[in-house]
Amino acid sequence: MSSSTETIFLDKVLLGFLVCPITKSKLLYNIKSNELISEKAGLAFPIINGVPILIIEEARSIKSDNTK
């Protein structure tokens, strides 16, 4: 159980440093889909084997309800 706690802690620390490669805005972690979400860019970046893949071509488009 402690290794899970360490992984969660590492992920939270890492997430604090990561930004969207397009907009440079913060990324949100979606635990259900295991993706990092850029609401401004409307993209979801996959996390594979614990490694965030922030390559634009690897991201999938998402719908955004925010019309600001």
Here the CATH number for the domain that contains residue 50 is 2.20.25.10
**pLDDT tens by residue, 18-68:** 999 999 999 999 988 889 999 999 999 998 888 899 999 999 999 754 544
Q: Is residue 9 part of a domain?
A: yes
In angstroms, the CA 47 to CA 63 distance is 19
Q: Is residue 66 part of a domain?
A: no
Q: Is residue 67 part of a domain?
A: no
Q: Which domain holds residue 56?
A: 2-61
Q: What are phi and psi of 13, to 5 degrees?
A: -65, -45
How many structural domains does the chain have?
A: 1
pTM, 2 dp: 0.77
> Residue 2 carries which side chain, given as an amino acid letter?
S
H or E stretch covering 64: none
Q: Is residue 51 part of a domain?
A: yes
